[in-house]
Structures are given as structure tokens and as C-alpha cells.
Amino acid sequence: MSQGRFVAKRVFQGVGVVWGVVSIVFVLRFVTPGSAINAVAPLDADQETRQAIARELGLDQPLHVQYGDYLVSLLQGDMGFSYVRGQEVATLVFSKLPATVELALAATVVAIGLSIPLGVVSATRRNQPVDWLATLFSLGGISTPNFWLGIMLILLLAVQFDIFQTSGRAVAAVEVAAAVVGPAPFVDRLQAWLAHITLPAVALGTYFMALVTRLTRSGMLDELGKPYVRAARAKGLPEVVVRYKHALRNTLIPVITVLGLQLGTLIGGAVITEAVFSWPGLGTLVIDSINLRDWPVLQGSLIVIGTSFVLVNIFVDVVYSALDPRVVND
């Protein structure tokens, strides 16, 4: 099939998954201890408020009607109301989403940008000091809890050596980009942005980086031992071409598969990283909402997180199919 049809098929599957996500969250509402009203009403709500909530939730309606209403509101962008915070859930959740996306992207860029070269170098200079270091580092990286790493990074690089900021988010990436107009604000904003995002991105990205390094290394070693590599060298192709155009490309395919699967870890890791660095994103919102028993916001966050994950996976699959046309014919 053509790539276009492949993409369409993946999108269609993605929609199905999103529908599944949304439905599970709907079910969660009834799994909350106490009635479904408790899932929405704050603890100190009086009778009148509770009745109003019951009416709004349509709890007196049959189940399939409730479900239908729920889906319809979601399509209209209405995720309910947080009585605890006194705000629309959708407003709250989408206002925090950019911060998390920014952090996750930064971590991914850091991770992939460093790990693939490291993995390649490690494979091509096997058993030399570089390889040992890389192996050690990547073993440590997948074994270190990222919140602990974050705390240590803060201690070392933000407190002892005042290089980075200890916490918070001052400037959004888009603000940095927008300031490209003039040199002065651009540099200032860029500096502020880097000072705040570097440590959390590193803490979040380390697991990923270690994982990809390991995979790239073992993948490259496999590929470099294969017959077609010997054949290519025999043909007189320059080593660089052999390694990067052929071997690496074939290595990246399984690596990307795993990356896609690991994205969940990255988003989950973002939750903890946000907690350590007081990064005001979805992760912080999720934790705060649980502590405040603000279930509507928790549900809204789950929906947004799940949907984002599906979107990213579709994207990864498209990249995957570009690298390996064989996939399209699945």
C-alpha cells in the first residue's frame, strides 16, 4: 500500500485507541470509592451543590445516555468543571500541557542527540575506553531513579556551582522563538530558558539516553557483522557511507520501535521530574489533583495524556515507515 494509505490506516487505528482511552476514563468515574458524585464534588460540598452536580452529570439518566453525553461534550471540548479549584477542567489542563510538551521534547532531543552518536562510536570502537565508558554510563543511566538524579543535579549544578536555576519555568520556548526579532531580548530569553530547562531535561532524558545508547550500540554491532556490510566494503564504499548510510539506517529501525514503546516511560518520567523541579506542567497537575481529590481534573489530564501519546506514536510510525518501506506492506 502507499504511504498515504498507511498513514490513514494508522490514524484510524489511533482514533480507535483514543476512543478506548476516553471510555476507560469514563469507567473510572464509577470506580471511585463512594458515588460518582464523589468523583466530582469536593468533600465539603453541601447538599445543594451535590444535587446540582448530580443533575449536571446526568446521573439520573441511563448509562448509555450518560456515556453519549460524555462523548458529545468531549468533542465540544468540554471536560467538565473543577469544583475544587473553581475552574473549567479544559482550561486548566490545556494551560499546563505546553510546559510538559516542552520538557518532553527537550529531553528527547537531548537524549537522541547524544545517544545515537555515542552508540555508534561505542560500537565502532568496541572494547576501547570509549566503549567501556559508554557501557558503564548507559548501564548506570537505566538503573538510576530519575528523581534521585534530579536532586543530585540540583545539588551539584544549581546549588554548589551556580550554573543553572534550581526550579521553576520562567520562559516558554515559544517566547524565545518569538523574540528572534531583536538580538537583545532573544539572548536574554534564551539564557533564561536554558537556565531553567537544562537540568530537568537532562534528568528526564538520561534514562532514554542510556537506553538508546545501548540499543544503538548492540544494533550497530549486529549490523556491522552482517554479510552486506562486508560486501559493501569489498565494493570499495567509503567507511563513512557504510556505517552511516547503511548500517545505522538499519539499526535505527528497531531502535525507533523501542523508542515508540518507551515514550510512555518518558511521559511518566516527566511527572516525577516536574515534581522535583517544580515544573508547572501536566504531571504537577495530576499529583496536585489527586492530593486535592479533584477527580474531574485528574480525568481530564488522563484523557489528554493518553491522546498525546497516541498522536506521538502515530508520528513515530510515520517516521518509521519512511525509514523502512517494508513496514508499509504489513
Whole-angstrom Cα distance, residue 189 to residue 186? Answer: 5
Q: Which of residues 125-164 bind other proteins (CB under 8 A)?
A: 139-140, 142-148, 151-152, 154-155, 158-159, 162
Tally of helices (H runs) and strands (E runs) in the chain: 14, 2
In whole angstroms, the minimum distance from the beta carbon of 83 to other proteins comes to 9
In whole angstroms, the minimum distance from the beta carbon of 235 to other proteins comes to 27
Phi/psi-derived region of residue 2, left when phi > 0, alpha when psi is between -120 and 50, beta in every other case: beta
The secondary structure of residue 32, as a DSSP letter, is S
Cell of 313: 506514536
Q: Which of residues 7-26 bind other proteins (CB under 8 A)?
A: 13, 16-18, 20-21, 24
Q: Which of residues 294-323 bind other proteins (CB under 8 A)?
A: 295, 298, 302, 305-307, 309-310
In terms of CB distance, is 124 or 265 closer to other proteins? 265
Residue 34 binds other proteins, judged by CB under 8 A = no
Binding other proteins by CB under 8 A: which of 27, 31, 184, 234? 31
Alpha-carbon 84 to chain mean position: 27
Q: Which of residues 171-190 bind other proteins (CB under 8 A)?
A: none
Whole-angstrom Cα distance, residue 91 to residue 80? Answer: 10
The burial of 64, by beta-carbon neighbours within 10 Å (0-12 exposed, 13-18 middle, 19 or more buried), is given as exposed
Largest separation between any pair of C-alpha atoms in the chain: 83
In whole angstroms, the minimum distance from the beta carbon of 168 to other proteins comes to 7
How many residues does this entry show for the chain?
330
Q: Residue 314's CB: how many other CB atoms inside 10 A? A: 18
Whole-angstrom Cα distance, residue 218 to residue 234? Answer: 23
In terms of CB distance, is 237 or 253 closer to other proteins? 253
In terms of CB distance, is 248 or 267 closer to other proteins? 267
In terms of CB distance, is 54 or 237 closer to other proteins? 54
Binding other proteins by CB under 8 A: which of 290, 322, 323, 325? 290
3-class state of residue 87 by DSSP: strand
In whole angstroms, the minimum distance from the beta carbon of 207 to other proteins comes to 9
Binding other proteins by CB under 8 A: which of 36, 50, 246, 280? 280
Site string for other proteins, 219-258 (x = CB under 8 A): ---x-------------------------------x--xx
In whole angstroms, the minimum distance from the beta carbon of 188 to other proteins comes to 15
In whole angstroms, the minimum distance from the beta carbon of 126 to other proteins comes to 15
Closest Cα to residue 123, out of 106, 145, 138, 108?
Answer: 138
Q: Are 1 and 326 in contact (CB under 8 A)?
A: no
Binding other proteins by CB under 8 A: which of 97, 287, 316, 328? 287
Q: Are 177 and 211 in contact (CB under 8 A)?
A: no
Cell of 277: 523541579
How many residues lie near other proteins (CB under 8 A)?
Answer: 81
Binding other proteins by CB under 8 A: which of 119, 200, 205, 269? 269
In whole angstroms, the minimum distance from the beta carbon of 132 to other proteins comes to 11
Closest Cα to residue 92, out of 291, 286, 264?
Answer: 286
Residues β-bridged to residue 87: 82
Site string for other proteins, 37-76 (x = CB under 8 A): -----xxx-x------------------------------
Cell of 2: 502507499
Among the candidate windows 66-74, 111-119, 120-128, 273-281, which touches other proteins by CB under 8 A? 273-281
